[in-house]
Chain A
Amino acid sequence: DAGITQSPRHKVTETGTPVTLRCHQTENHRYMYWYRQDPGHGLRLIHYSYGVKDTDKGEVSDGYSVSRSKTEDFLLTLESATSSQTSVYFCAISAFGGNEKLFFGSGTQLSVL
Chain B
Amino acid sequence: AQTVTQSQPEMSVQEAETVTLSCTYDTSESDYYLFWYKQPPSRQMILVIRQEAYKQQNATENRFSVNFQKAAKSFSLKISDSQLGDAAMYFCAYRTTGGGSEKLVFGKGTKLTVNP
Contact = CB atoms under 8 A, between A and B. Distances in A.
Contact of A88 (B43, B95, B100): B43
Given A90-B45, A99-B52, A107-B43, A33 B108 contact: no
A45 B52 CA distance: 22
B98 interface: yes
Main secondary structure of the interface of A (DSSP, over half): strand
B91 A43 contact: yes
B77 to A, nearest CB: 15
A79 B1 CA distance: 27
A98 B33 contact: yes
Interface in A1-58: 31, 33, 35, 40-45, 48, 50, 54, 56, 58
Given A88-B43, A97-B98, A99-B52, A43 B103 contact: no
B95 A99 contact: yes
A35 to B, nearest CB: 8
Contacts of B102: 31, 50, 94, 97-98
A50 B44 contact: no
Interface of B: 1, 6, 33, 35, 43-45, 47, 50, 52, 91, 95, 97-98, 100-109
28 contacts: A33-B104, A35-B106, A40-B108, A41-B108, A42-B91, A42-B108, A43-B91, A44-B106, A45-B103, A45-B104, A50-B100, A50-B101, A50-B102, A59-B105, A88-B43, A97-B97, A97-B100, A98-B33, A98-B98, A99-B33, A99-B50, A99-B95, A101-B35, A101-B47, A102-B45, A104-B44, A106-B43, A106-B44
